Amino acid sequence: MDKQTTSYDEYVKDEAFLREYNAYQAKYATNIRESDKVLINLVREAFSRHDASKGPFKLLDIGCSTGNLLLHLKNLVPGLELVGGELAESSLEVCRSNPSLKGIRFERLDMLDIDYESEFDVIVANAVAVYFYWDEYAKAARSCNRALKKGGTYLAFEWIHPFRHQDITITETTIGHPKGLRICFRPMPKVASVFEEAGFKQVTFHPFELPIELPKPGFDEEVVSYTVKSADNRNLCFRGTLFQPWCHLSAIKV
């Protein structure tokens, strides 16, 4: 893939894919994804430390898609000022026309260059930075750092694993992305140093384990997450032929 054309450029303008993806997202408006429950608890924790005399607690969900996480935060953690940021115009339109998201502001924002300074108490990037080249990844970390208040919390959900020397970038071709989409599985130590260099401390990894089983799709269908039982009864999360080391990340702006 041409280095000038980042995968997110193509991804956020791929209307055929987004139509399918937005339809897929609709089912999680009522059923909260297990990984989102973890994020919601991490937001609750950050909110519980908030000093109300310093003004409202502001949260940005960058790459918010159709706004499911924001919807659940609105319902489950009242008192937050919520902002959704996206590059995909069609997803922003879906959010703005959804009455259940009333009261949430939606803006066209690029995670690599968020147009705010010291504004947010929390920034969430839920399965967004998985597509970025390392230089974009570092830029995104710096951009989020700038947009957070001092002591603010960055929360993410990505493929991050503990094997220090294994840094995986692959092009995955699927029904949804017939031209191929780059996806990255990053080693924890390298992620930690990128975030530390961007001005974060307490970079913490929370490897995610699915508490439920997900059915395996047929070999001729679109790849979606499914689980396989390990010998010690854990639900290992696969996608097609790939094992997915899903992991939550939290970090604090110095």
Ligand X SMILES: C[S@@+](CC[C@H](N)C(=O)[O-])C[C@H]1O[C@@H](n2cnc3c(N)ncnc32)[C@H](O)[C@@H]1O
Q: Which residues bind ligand X (CB under 6 A)?
A: 8, 11-12, 62-65, 85-88, 91, 109-112, 126-128
With respect to ligand X, which residue has the nearer C-beta, 110 or 196? Answer: 110
Name the minimum Å distance from CB 16 to ligand X. 14
Cβ at position 19, least distance to ligand X in Å: 13
| Whole-angstrom distance, CA of residue 28 vs CA of residue 246 | 18
Residue 252 near residue 201, CB atoms below 8 Å: yes
Least distance between ligand X and beta carbon 114 (Å): 8
Cβ 233 to ligand X, closest distance in Å? 27
Query: Would you say 139 or 161 has its CB closer to ligand X?
Result: 139
* Residue among 87 and 104 whose Cβ is closer to ligand X: 87
Burial 84-101 (b: 16+ CB within 10 A, else e): bbbbbebbbebbeeeeeb
Q: What torsion do the CA atoms of 14, 17, 22, 25 make, to the nearest 10 degrees?
A: -130
Nearer to ligand X by Cβ, of 64 and 80: the residue is 64
Task: Check: CB of residue 95 under 8 Å from CB of residue 86.
Answer: yes
To the nearest whole angstrom, how small is the minimum distance from the Cβ of residue 57 to ligand X? 20
Nearer to ligand X by C-beta: 222 or 229? Answer: 222
Beta carbon nearer to ligand X, 4 or 230:
4
Q: How far is the CB of 48 from ligand X (least distance, A)?
A: 23
CA atoms 235, 239, 243, 247: torsion sign = negative
Tell me the three state secondary structure of residue 112.
helix
| Interatomic CA distance for residues 197 and 195, integer angstroms | 5
Burial class for 152, CB neighbours closer than 10 Å (0-12, 13-18, 19+)? buried
Look-up of token digits 């990255």: 184
